[in-house]
């Protein structure tokens, strides 16, 4: 039973740290984009934001449209139905 308590506390601590990093990176990016912090490079904060969001299963970024092209019907290759 003690194992379940320590595992549960580790999960809470892990979630708390991820939420803190998420809030920090959002604050840094917001301040940077608003022009409040001029000497900051937002690349590190953006990568931390992406890492935390991906740990929660959120995918950020463009999807590859070439994958979708294989599922589309190419109308130019189909023949029109015969007229009766």
What does the pLDDT look like over 1-10, one tens digit per residue? 455 555 556 7
Per the domain annotation, does 65 fall within a domain? no
Per the domain annotation, does 30 fall within a domain? yes
Per the domain annotation, does 47 fall within a domain? yes
Q: How confident is the model at residue 77 (pLDDT cuts 50, 70, 90)?
A: low
Per the domain annotation, does 68 fall within a domain? no
What does the pLDDT look like over 6-63, one tens digit per residue? 555 678 999 999 999 999 999 999 999 998 988 888 899 999 999 999 888 888 776 6
Report the pLDDT value the prediction gives residue 62, as an integer from 0 to 100. Answer: 67
Count: domains in the chain: 1
| Residue 22 burial (CB count, 10 A) | 17
Chain center to CA of 25? 13
Q: Is the pTM of this model over 0.85?
A: no
Q: Which residue has the higher pLDDT, 68 or 82?
A: 82
């Amino acid at each position: 039973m003690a194992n379940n308590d320590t595992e549960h506390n580790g999960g809470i601590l892990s979630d708390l740290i991820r939420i803190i990093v998420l809030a920090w990176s959002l604050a840094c990016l917001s301040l940077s984009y608003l022009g409040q912090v001029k000497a900051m490079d937002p690349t590190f904060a953006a990568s931390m934001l992406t890492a935390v969001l991906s740990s929660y299963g959120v995918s950020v970024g463009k999807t590859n449209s070439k994958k979708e092209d294989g599922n589309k019907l190419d109308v130019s290759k189909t023949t029109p139905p015969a007229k009766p």
